[in-house]
Amino acid sequence: MELDSLSSLEKREILFTDIKNAIEVNWVNHSKLPNNDAIIRSVLNLSDIDSAEARLRRFAPLIKMLFPETVDAKGIIESPLVEVPELRKALNREKIGANLAGKLYMKMDSQLPVGGSVKARGGIYEVLKYTETLAVENGVLESYEDDYCKLASPAAKAFFGTKRLHVGSTGNLGLSVGLVGNALGYEVIVHMSCDAAEWKKEMLRSRGVIVKVYDGDYSEAITKARAESAVDDNAHFVDDEDSKEMFLGYAVAGKRLKKQLRQQGITVDNEHPLFVYIPCGVGGAPGGITFGLRQFLGDNVHCFFVEPTQAPCMLLGMVTGLYNNITVQDVGLSGKTHADGLAVGRPSAVIGDFIKPFLSGIITIKDKRLFEYLRLLWESEKIFIEPSSCAAIHGTVCWSHSREMEDYLEDNNLNRYLENATHIIWATGGGLVPEDIRQELLVKKV
């Protein structure tokens, strides 16, 4: 049967069946709105991102002092945007057949200082925000204009030493929260799912972080973390499933990327579209980044999330309209994936509904491809990123074989401008993967 003759209800039915059967899908979001319309019903806006960015600037002198790797960037935790022409060539070869016009870049959050992943945006921002509030309320800082380096004094550290940070993590969030929390003097307790990579647990413990591992998946680890934190008066819970602060920390990326694009002479306008592909777990990181990009670059940026076929929690929540009231296990999927950072069965409680008017679509990827892309990137560019990040590479490939995606180009009047397009693969992590694990991953087949 021709797809054209199918009603939207029938198409939805086919999509739902494919998702349940762990078949790769390309879902275009027909609820996307022009930014000016979307922002009207939004509880956050551009000025919230500006104030988050200002907070990060207030903390920059302290970050520079605590983390010497940020000295060159004056205490601003940011990553480079690099062109990857050899990867583009490799993806366009017949074997993969991406057929990509325009230019291909990578946003190297895998190289972000203090954790080596995108979590250094949201996780660290939340800890800093909490720290600032505590410090001002308790006289550790006199005001928001005070010298934030005071927060590294022995007296301040002793004060923060009476406080605990709890966080649920598949690994990377624990690393960023653990590193910054420890540096400030907090006791940090990371609650992890059984899927978390062994080396991440070891690295955390070696840095003095308390690690608790549960038999269940990520959703269970977060539930345990939330419960433990709730009965502790001196604890703060970094809630990956429901945090406005983390979201804003991620959204700052939009403002910073706009500046980087300008510096590199990359135009984004009606005739120069920008396509961005971001791996999605609970949705906080890709949601925040998408929101930030839409606020600072408007309607000419097209953001797609990428999820594993066995853990497409955000996609499932969106197409059913049930958001965090449905899990991938509810439809018979395992939630298990080698993309450990994306091994999430239930999406965030707040992101799905919020981000829907800003998002272009969600695509899914089979685990097998993660390792093909991992090798391809290494062979073509000598860049290593972790399997979860490799999901984003699939965004470049989905255009060549999908009716849905062809329709997206048509509906958004983009076909004429594809030669002028810029594509960005958001490399969300991998900077801290130990050498022996890298070698294992580079030869891994599933």
Ligand X SMILES: *Cc1c(COP(=O)(O)O)cnc(C)c1O
Q: Which residues bind ligand X (CB under 6 A)?
A: 117-119, 172, 279-286, 341-342, 386, 388-389, 428-429
Minimum CB distance to ligand X smaller for 64 or for 423: 423
Minimal distance in Å, beta carbon 405 to ligand X?
22
Nearer to ligand X, 119 or 423 (CB): 119
Structure tokens at 371: 């390792």
Measure the CA–CA gap between 106 and 103, rounded to whole angstroms.
10
Output 286 or 292, the one with its CB closest to ligand X.
286
Task: Name the residue nearer to ligand X (CB basis): 131 or 290.
Answer: 290
d(CA 249, CA 121): 5
* Tally of CB atoms within 10 A around 416: 9
**Shortest spacing between CB 15 and ligand X, in angstroms:** 21
User: What is the biggest distance separating any 2 CA atoms in the chain, rounded to whole angstroms?
Assistant: 72
Q: Which is nearer to ligand X, 268 or 306 (CB)?
A: 306
Q: Please, what is the minimum distance in Å from the beta carbon of residue 173 to ligand X?
A: 6
3-state secondary structure of 332: coil
CB-nearer residue toward ligand X: 109 or 187: 109
**Alpha-carbon torsion 445, 86, 25, 321, what sign?**
positive
CB of 341 to ligand X, least distance (A): 3
Q: How far apart are CA 248 and CA 285, in angstroms?
A: 10
| Rounded least distance, CB 285 to ligand X, Å | 3
Token code pair at residue 34: 């022009």
Q: Least distance (Å) from ligand X to the CB of residue 322?
A: 18
* Cα 94-96-101 angle, rounded to 5 deg: 80
In 3-state terms, what secondary structure has residue 262? helix
Q: Which is nearer to ligand X, 24 or 240 (CB)?
A: 240
Closer to ligand X by CB, 196 or 414: give it: 196
Of the pair 28, 355, the CB lying nearest ligand X is at 355
Q: How many helices (H) and strands (E) does the chain have?
A: 17, 11
Cα separation, 149 vs 66, in Å, equals: 9
Minimum Å distance from CB 45 to ligand X?
A: 21
Output the residue with the shortest Cβ distance to ligand X: 281
**Cα–Cα distance between 402 and 205 in angstroms, integer?**
45
Q: Which residues contact 435 (CB under 8 A, 6 or more apart)?
A: none
């275009």: which residue's tokens?
A: 28
Cross-strand pairs, 362:
27, 305
Q: Tokens for 383?
A: 């860049």
Shortest spacing between CB 429 and ligand X, in angstroms: 3
User: Please, what is the minimum distance in Å from the beta carbon of residue 148 to ligand X?
Assistant: 27
Cα 59 off chain centre by: 22
Find out whether 3 and 12 touch, Cβ atoms under 8 Å: no
Give the residue with the Cβ less far from ligand X, 261 or 285: 285
* Distances in whole angstroms, Cα of residue 271 to Cα of each of 151, 349, 417: 48, 36, 6
CB of 56 to ligand X, least distance (A): 18
Task: Please give the Cα distance from 173 to 167 (Å, whole number).
Answer: 8
Q: How far is the CB of 417 from ligand X (least distance, A)?
A: 29
Selection from 170, 108, 199 nearest residue 384 by Cα = 108
* Closest to ligand X by CB, 151 or 196: 196
In the complex, least distance from residue 123 CB atom to ligand X, rounded to whole angstroms: 9
Nearer to ligand X, 135 or 316 (CB): 316
Q: Give the Cβ contact number of residue 24 at 10 Å.
A: 19
**CA dist list (Å): 318 to 27, 156, 181, 246:** 10, 44, 34, 21
Q: Which two tokens stand for residue 98?
A: 């991406």
